[in-house]
Structure 1
Amino acid sequence: MNIASVRRPIIPPTPPRAPENLSFFGRLAVIRQNMIATWGQRAYEEGIVEGRFFLHKSFILNQPDAIRHVLLSDYENYTRTPAGIRMLRPVLGDGLLLAEGHSWTFQRRTLSPAFTPRATANLVPHMTAVLDETIAKLDARTSEPVDLRDVMQRMTLEIAGRTMFSFGMDRHGPTLRNFVMEYGERLGRAYFLDMLLPVSWPTPMDRARARFRTRWTKFVAMLIAERRAAGKKEGAPPRDLFDLMDEARDPVTGKGFSDEQLVDEVATMILAGHETTATALFWALYLLALDPETQEEVASETSGEHLDSIADIERQKFTRAVIDETMRLYPPAFLIARAARDRDNVAGAKVGRGDIIMIAPWLLHRHEKLWDQPDAFIPKRFMSKEPPDRFAYLPFGAGPRVCIGAPFAQAESVLALARLIGAFRIELVDADPVIPYGVVTTQPDHSPMFRVTRR
């Protein structure tokens, strides 16, 4: 994709690429600290990179046709890896993100009505109310440095709480954030035995994760009980995601979710919804602080808009392009890893049973054969008449298992960025570069301080 640019675009900082001769154990040590720093230059240039992962072969796929095969044409042959299951199951249980086979089909069919564009439109008032409050709080902090990463986490958590339960997260937010931080800092990292042993063989970290899961599911069940106690008027339309999920029925079997299943679905939606959106918004604000001219274009598009409906959000074409470009450079899910159930042939590569397939949006979105100026921040590439190949840009995955909450996340991100930049001019206080690192999502290595000034 060729991009014409009048001025030289910014190139945000990234971790150094790994040397090609990095040893197995050296690579393993880097994986625990920053997965995206384990890939060398070949991974940004070649269509398929073959290697080894313990007793099996591994393949990094950067060819859209090969990715289409794995995620769409033959997706049932590829399951989550043992390490991936270990990292996610303690917080997501057997919810939609980890379910397989008939269980996944049931959950997907049952949940789909809750995430249609119409359902999302009904939740926009919850989003705008939280944004109004966030802007009012920032108004009071224009004379001091502000940690916008923390502000985005609190804001998206509040949106998640209100859209899910119709109540604020003032009381429960700190506990929820502590759960997220506790898990991400230690339990969400891959250790040697996590990658070596099958899921049926518990590792020492698995025991710690099991204890975490007991406390976590008890907390989510408490939130559900509090929401149920608030009740719902007989015959009244659904007022939040919980109503939609609690009342959802599989159109084929007529069955709904059990209480245990509902805990896992709610946990999945709250965590996937607030953490990934907060991260994307942080990176968008960071990029706009580095690129004041692009920031002014967003402010200009937003000027005079009320931004309180889906129609208003859809008119923000350039702001949407900024979000799209942000998620290209900093994909929330930086790696999609799959294990082959049976032998296969992927774009000429012979895949054996148990071999590992890696589709890394971090690599794919910066691949030198797929993108013009791949490391540069150029939002207008997403306003081109030639959109990127569907399987070259995967911020929400692709195929049958594409993220069910993508329309909700896109609406929330565009609305939030438009409202925030429409209200404030954002500048960086810190001069230190912010380096992305991959643990569970693509996180910054530190939280820089910003200055916000009323427009």
Structure 2
Amino acid sequence: MNIASVRRPIIPPTPPRAPDNLSFFGRLAVIRQNMIATWGQRAYEEEIIQGRFFLHKSFILNQPDAIRHVLLSNYENYTRTPAGIRMLRPVLGEGLLLAEGHAWTFQRRTLAPAFTPRATANLVPHMTAVLDETIAKLDARTNAPIDLREVMQRMTLEIAGRTMFSFGMDRHGLTLRNFIMEYGERLGRAYFLDMVLPVSWPTPMDRARARFRTRWTEFVAMLIAERRAAGKKDGAPPRDLFDLMDEARDPETGKGFSDEQLVDEVATMILAGHETTATALFWALYLLALDPETQEEVASETRGQHLDSIADIDRQKFTRAVIDESMRLYPPAFLIARAARDKDNVAGAAVSKGDIIMIAPWLLHRHEKLWDQPNAFIPKRFMSKEQPDRFAYLPFGAGPRVCIGAPFAQAESVLALARLIGAFRVELVEADPVIPYGVVTTQPDHSPMFRITPR
């Protein structure tokens, strides 16, 4: 994909690439600290890299046709790895993200009406209300150092709370953030035994995760009880995601969610929704602070716009391209790992039962055979007639298991970035590079301080 650039684009900092001959145990040591620092130069140049993971083979796929085969054509042959299940089940339970087989089919069919474009459009007023409040608070903090990463986390959490429950998260936000930080700092990291033992064999960390899950599900159930206590007028249209999910029925069986299932679905939507969107917005703001000219293009596009409907959001073509390019360089979900249920053939490579397939958006989005100037920030590449292969750009996954909330997340991200840059000029206070690291999502190694000034 060739891109002509009038000026030299910025190339944001990245962690140093690992030696291609890094030992197995050396790689394991790096994985716990920063997964994206474990890949060497070969991973950015070759289409398929084969290795070994204990008793099984492992494959890194950077070839779109091979990825299409695993995520679409033969997706039922590939399931989450034991380590992936261990990392996610304590916080997401048996919700849509982790469900398999008939359970996944039931959940996907039942939830689909809650995430249609029309349903998303009905939730935009919740987003705009939170953005109005966020901008008002930021207006009182101009010209002083500010942690925009924290602001984005609080803002997207508030949007998640209001779109899910129609109430603010002022009373519960701190508790929810503490849960997320507690899990991410220790329990959400992969340890040696997590990667080598079957899921049915509990590791020491699994016991700690189980204790966390008990407290976590009690907290989510409390939020649901509070929302149900608020009630709903008979015959009134759904006012939030909870209404849509609580009333959802499988179109084939007429069955809805049990209370236990609803807890896992709500947890999945709140966590997956707010954390990944906050991460995407942070990186977009960081890139725009590094690139003032591009920032001014976003501000120019938003000037004079009301930005309070899906139609308004759809008109922000350049802002959408900035979000797309930010998620190319910093995909919130940096790795998709699968284990083969049975033997298969992927792009000529023989795959055996239990082999590990890795599709890393971090690698794929920076692959030298797929992208022109892959490490550069060039939003207009997404406004070109020549678009990347559908399976070369995976910020939300692909195939039947593509993120169900992608339209919601895209609308929220574009709306938020357009409104924020339309209101403020954003710059970095410090010159220290911000290095991305991968644990659960693609996070910064520290939260840089920004300065905002009114436009």
Q: Give yes or no for TM over 0.5.
A: yes
- Aligned mates of 2:387, 2:358 — CA distance in 1: 24
Alignment gaps of 5+ in structure 1: none
* Deviation for aligned residue 1:267: 0.0
Residue by residue over 1:323-354, the C-alpha shift from the partner in whole angstroms, topping out at 9 and shown as x without a partner, is: 00000000000000000000000000100110
Question: Equivalents in 2 of 1:65, 1:20: separation in Å?
Answer: 25
Residues 132-182 of structure 1: CA distance to partner in whole angstroms, max 9, x if unpaired?
A: 000000000003100000000000000000000000000000000000000
SS in 2 for 1:331: coil
1:24 shift after superposition: 0.8
1:366 lines up with 2:366 in the alignment:
yes
Give the distance between the partners of 2:214 and 2:202, measured in 1 at CA: 16
Instruction: Note the C-alpha offset of 1:320.
Output: 0.1
For 1:262 and 1:60, how far apart are their aligned partners in 2? Answer: 35
Distance in 2 of aligned mates of 1:430 and 1:444: 14
| Deviations, residues 347-379 of structure 1 (Å, cap 9, x unaligned) | 001001100000000000000000000000000
In 1, the alpha carbon distance for the partners of 2:276 and 2:103 equals 25
DSSP-derived class of the 1:58 partner: strand
Structure-2 separation of matches of 1:309 and 1:15: 39
CA distance in 2, matches of 1:296, 1:77: 47
Task: Determine helix, strand or coil for the equivalent of 2:85.
Answer: helix
What do residues 376-406 of structure 1 show as CA deviations (whole Å, max 9, x unaligned)? 0000000000111000000000000000000
Which residue is equivalent to 1:53? 53
Per the alignment, residue 169 of structure 1 pairs with 169
Report how many aligned residue pairs link the two structures.
455
2:332 aligned with 1:332: yes
Q: Structure 2 CA distance, aligned partners of 1:56 and 1:287?
A: 40
Q: Deviations over 1:276-314 (max 9, x none)?
A: 000000000000000000000000000000000000000
* In structure 1, distance between residues paired with 2:353 and 2:43: 23
1:188 Cα deviation from its structure 2 partner: 0.2
Q: Which residue of 1 aligns with 2:148?
A: 148
- Tell me, in whole angstroms, the C-alpha distance in 2 between the residues paired with 1:48 and 1:406: 28
**What is the CA deviation profile of residues 200-237 of structure 1, one whole-angstrom value per residue up to 9, with x for unaligned ones?**
00000000000000000000000000000000000000
Give the distance between the partners of 2:253 and 2:378, measured in 1 at CA: 47
Cα distance between partner residues in 2 of 1:132 and 1:233: 27
CA distance, structure 1, for counterparts of residue 31 and residue 401 of structure 2 = 25
Tell whether 2:375 aligns with 1:375.
Answer: yes
Match of 1:219 in 2: 219
Q: What is the distance in 2 between the residues matched to 1:10 and 1:58?
A: 34
How many angstroms apart in 1 are the aligned matches of 2:131 and 2:401?
30
Shift of 1:21: 1.2
TM-fit CA distance, 1:31: 0.1
Q: CA deviation at 1:111?
A: 0.1
Q: Deviations over 1:9-34 (max 9, x none)?
A: 00000000000111111100000000
TM-score when normalising by structure 1: 1.00
Partner of 1:295: helix, strand, or coil?
helix
Cα distance in structure 1, aligned partners of 2:156 and 2:71: 29
Q: Supply the distance in 2 between the matched residues of 1:52 and 1:137 (Cα, whole angstroms).
A: 52
In 1: Cα distance, 2:183 partner to 2:71 partner? 28
Q: Deviations over 1:120-141 (max 9, x none)?
A: 0000000000000000000000
Cα deviation, residue 78, structure 1: 0.2
**Equivalent in the alignment of 2:88:** 88
Q: For the residues of structure 2 that align with 1:347 and 1:210, how far apart are their CA atoms?
A: 39
Structure-1 residue corresponding to 2:107: 107
> Structure 2: how far apart are the matches of 1:54 and 1:133?
52
Q: How many Å separate the matches in 1 of 2:216 and 2:430?
A: 35
Q: Shift in Å at residue 54 of structure 1? A: 1.1
Task: Return the offset for 1:49.
Answer: 0.3
Matched residue SS, 1:357: strand
SS of residue paired to 2:440? coil
Residues in 2 aligned to 1:25 and 1:182: alpha-carbon distance in whole angstroms: 27
Aligned equivalents of 2:388 and 2:241: distance in 1? 32
Give me the whole-angstrom Cα distance separating, in 2, the residues matched to 1:185 and 1:11.
Answer: 29
- C-alpha distance in 2 between matches for 1:36 and 1:362: 7
**SS at 1:175 equivalent:** helix
Task: Describe how 1:122-271 pairs up with structure 2 within 5 A.
Answer: 122-271=122-271
**Alpha-carbon distance in structure 2 between the residues aligned to 1:143 and 1:52:** 53
Distance in 2 separating the partners of 1:25 and 1:72? 33
> Aligned-residue CA RMSD in angstroms?
0.3
- Name the CA distance, whole Å, in 2 between partners of 1:106 and 1:452: 46
Secondary structure in 2 matching 1:255: coil
- With the length of structure 2 as denominator, give the TM-score of the two structures: 1.00
Taking the aligned partners of 2:116 and 2:209, their CA distance within structure 1 comes to: 34
Q: Give 1:430 deviation, angstroms.
A: 1.1
Distance 1:407 1:17 in 2: 33
The secondary structure found in structure 2 opposite 1:274 is helix
What CA distance in whole angstroms lies between the structure 2 residues aligned with 1:25 and 1:219? 38
- Write the distance in 1 (CA, Å) between the matches of 2:376 and 2:44: 14
Give a deviation string over 1:28-80, Cα, whole Å, max 9, x none. 00000000000000000000000011110000000000000000000000000
Which runs of no fewer than 5 residues in structure 2 stay unpaired? none
Give distance in 1, aligned partners of 2:447 and 2:357: 33
CA distance in 2, matches of 1:367, 1:4: 18
In the alignment, the residues of structure 1 paired with residue 402 and residue 411 of structure 2 have an alpha-carbon distance, to the nearest angstrom, of 17
